[in-house]
Amino acid sequence: MSTAKKRVTTRTLIKMKQANEPIAMITAYDYPAAKMAEAAGADMILVGDSLGMVVLGYDSTIPVTLEDMLHHTKAVTRGANRAMVIADLPFMVAHLSRDEVLKAAARLMQEGGAYGVKLEGGREIIENVRALTQAGIPVVGHLGLTPQSVNQLGGYVIQGKELAAAERLIEEAQHLEQAGICALVLECVPEELARLISEKLRVPTIGIGAGRHCDGQVLVYHDVLALGGEWHPSFVKVYRQAGRMMTEGIAEYVQEVKNRQFPQEEHVTHLAGEIAEQLYGAKEGATA
């Protein structure tokens, strides 16, 4: 568990990369999760648009709106004081006009309290990334498997396996760095490619399904704790079966209610004897 006390900043991330100190990032979507991530020592908390799938019940991230992201970002930033909170710009926002992208990012920072924003994409969003960073907004890039483009990509598949695709990802990572990003998420790319990109960039890389050589790792909170059922992606390690434990606890509560085992004496309060007598007497008199 990290013992660092100072708030994590973009300078912190650069120093961690230079010192070869791994960066631990995890998603959170509400106040309790943010409190737990902070207490556990996470360096970065991502309010991901993955909330659409693990919190809101959608089958992809595409339906998530800016208002959804604002709502959850506000909750997370109330629970995080040291960790850097990054909020996703939802579907299509990164591709809108410069002014609309700036306004959306500004809302996530001003209203939501986020430290910065994350955008999916490469060369097609470079100018908007540059506009954001020139406006003083910390930006985390995202290459490889970009869930907002899952329909265009043809599903959740590994990216950069062919030479041309790998070279394109390297080029786009360098362009994003030149545009001013403070970190880069690499999702579902081969380990060797992620290592090469990490070596070429001055800013840290954060891997998810990208192997062991990124400067940090990020996983979804619900995957780490098995809160979404038994299935999880192959690159995920489940650290606790919290979902199973919670289901068992709720089932036990339901059964005790059904059997009138809850509440018991220690869970109730009582009126003073004379008050109870007066109330019952008054009730009896009213119904006589």
The residues carrying an active-site annotation are 187
Cα separation values, 254 from 42, 226, 266, 268, Å: 35, 22, 18, 18
Instruction: Give the integer Cα–Cα distance in Å for 210 and 25.
Output: 14
Instruction: Give the integer Cα–Cα distance in Å for 90 and 146.
Output: 12
Cα separation values, 2 from 39, 45, 72, 267, Å: 9, 14, 25, 38
Which helix (H) or strand (E) element contains residue 103?
helix 98-110
Cα separation values, 9 from 84, 139, 217, 220, Å: 7, 12, 17, 21
Crossing angle of helices 163-179 and 191-200, in 10° steps, is 30
In residues, how long is the chain?
288
